Amino acid sequence: MYDLDGLAEAYDLDLPAVIARLKERTPTPALVGLQFPDGLRHYGPAIAAHVERETGVPTVISGEPSFGACDLALDLARIGVDCLVHFGHSPMPSMGRIKEFVILFAPVRSRAPVEAIVTEAAGQIPGARIGILTTAQHAHKVPDMARALEAAGKVPVVGFGDNRVFNPGQLLGCNFTAARTIQPDVDAFLYVGTGDFHPIAAAWGTDTPVWVADPQTGEVRHVDHRVDALMKERFTNIARAMDARRFAVLVGTRVGQERYKLARGLKKLIERHGREATVVALDYFSPDALASFRHLDAWVNTGCPRITTDDYARYDRPMLTPQELEIVLGVRSADDYVFDEFKGTKPRPHADPAVGATVIEEEDGVRRGV
């Protein structure tokens, strides 16, 4: 009735492992929730049918957007879901145990080969020591990336992020600690993946050249021009907010995106500078959700940083990061612009991933090679 062939061609999804993990749960789940990122949700009915057929347990698919492991469909607990299978994102250790229900993370790994595109990129990147960066979909191929760089005469270096990040070399949209950890030890970064947001965050946050090798399109590119364009956009937005008197400080209520203490601190900061502020909590950020607050002059986003950098043009008011608000208020110099980042609470220990590369790990605050 449903076709999974298209999914199997592009991604490795180990459904038998998902089924086995569900079957071994004691007690047996009464209702299984399935959560997918947007690009995979159209395969949801096929996967749901397969899970029900193999386990005999009813399923329900979350129809809400899913932007990462920080964005779990906890609302499904209200209809009786006692086990959630979250597809396509790696776990976020810093969140700890979720009380609402058991969560099983099901990786969806890209089948796209990486060796040829990494070899092509190595021929364009100056310098000898190359830091490898990627996303959850390609993290299982970090060893292949490292071997391709070595074969091209480069020294691959892989960093470990903090405990918000699960895989070696992995970037999140809100966290680039895997890059910052090894910044002093590399001449450039190579990001293997699609899109520009992750490599732009690394370039912005480390002030180190970043190249992109896209295994889907076969394109190799530098992100300098995108960083410059985004910087212009951000400072235009800051300039629009300079005369703002009334602010809404926005708090995301999704489990891994909530920064209420930061929002309260920003409200106090705004008021100390003689302006007005109100804290507004939202689950899903959109122009419609903020329509009732258009009488305010500007919004400060403490939720996912991508809302500010990717979607700001959708809003009819300036949308600021916390650091940009500090520039507006004169607390931070414009020359000291920094990218908004969600940080974990501590460095995360990892086993040697056997990547065949120089591995740099933060341990007890000391950078060391393994």
pLDDT the model gives residue 366: 26
Are 231 and 221 part of one and the same domain?
no
Determine whether 366 is exposed, middle or buried from the number of CB atoms within 10 Å of its CB (0-12, 13-18, 19+): exposed
Out of 50, 83, 110, a domain closes at: 110
Closest CA to 62 of 51, 76, 48, 49: 76
Q: Which two tokens stand for residue 280?
A: 């507004």
The answer to whether 171 touches 163, Cβ cutoff 8 Å, is: no
pLDDT digits (tens, 9 = 90+) for 55-82: 999 999 999 888 888 889 999 999 999 9
Model confidence band, residue 369 (pLDDT cutoffs 50, 70, 90): very low
CB count within 10 Å of CB 249 equals 27
Domain termination residue (choose one: 92, 110, 128): 110
Q: Which of 110, 140, 161 is the last residue of a domain?
A: 110
Using 50, 70 and 90 to split pLDDT, how confident is the model at 220?
Answer: very high
Asked if the model's pLDDT at residue 31 lies above 70, the reply is: yes
Q: How many domains does the chain have?
A: 3
Judgement on whether residues 219 and 361 belong to the same structural domain of the protein:
yes
Find the CATH number of the domain harbouring 15: 3.40.50.11840
Same domain, 105 and 251: no
Give the pLDDT band of residue 351 (cuts 50, 70, 90): very low
Q: What are 99-136's pLDDT values in tens digits?
A: 888 899 998 999 999 999 999 999 999 999 999 999 99
Check whether residue 101 and residue 23 sit in a common domain. Answer: yes
Cα-based distances in Å from 141 to 109, 155, 235? 9, 17, 37
The answer for residues whose C-beta is within 8 angstroms of residue 15's C-beta and 6 or more apart is 47, 50, 51
Q: Is 314 exposed, middle or buried (0-12, 13-18, 19+ CB in 10 A)?
A: exposed
- Do 72 and 130 reside in the same domain of the chain? no
Is it the case that residue 84 has pLDDT exceeding 50? yes
pLDDT range class, residue 3, cuts 50, 70, 90: low
For residue 359, name the pLDDT band (cuts at 50, 70, 90): very low
Task: Based on the fold, state whether residues 249 and 289 are members of the same structural domain.
Answer: yes
- Please give the pLDDT value at position 370: 24
* Residue 139 token pair: 């993290």
Preceding amide of 27 cis, omega within 30:
yes
Please tell me whether residues 317 and 283 are part of one structural domain.
yes
Arithmetic mean of pLDDT over the chain: 88
Asked whether residue 94 falls in the same domain as residue 147, the answer is no
pLDDT of residue 153: 96
Report d(CA 287, CA 259) in Å as an integer. Answer: 21
Share above pLDDT 90 across residues of the chain, in percent, rounded to a whole number: 61
Q: What is the residue range of 24's domain?
A: 5-110
For position 184, what pLDDT does the model report? Answer: 92
Please, what's the b/e burial string for 294-305 (b: 16 or more CB within 10 A of its CB; e: otherwise)? eebbbbbbbbbb
Give yes or no: residues 219 and 352 share one domain.
Answer: yes
Strand residues in 89-239 grouped as ranges (E)? 102-106, 108-110, 129-134, 155-159, 188-192, 210-214, 219-222
pLDDT 10s digits, 300-327: 999 988 888 888 788 989 999 999 999 9
Cβ-contact 33, 57 below 8 angstroms: no
Give the whole-angstrom CA distance, residue 210 versus residue 208.
6
Shared domain for 207 and 61, answered yes or no, is no
CATH code of residue 240 = 3.40.50.11860
* 104, 157: one domain: no
Looking at residue 14, its pLDDT comes to 86
Dump pLDDT digits (tens) for 252-284.
998 888 999 999 999 999 999 999 999 999 988
In this predicted model, what pLDDT tens digit does every residue of 159-214 receive, in sequence order? 988 888 989 999 998 899 999 989 999 999 999 998 888 898 888 778 899 999 99
Indicate which CATH number applies to the domain containing 351: 3.40.50.11850
Same domain as 331, residue 233? yes
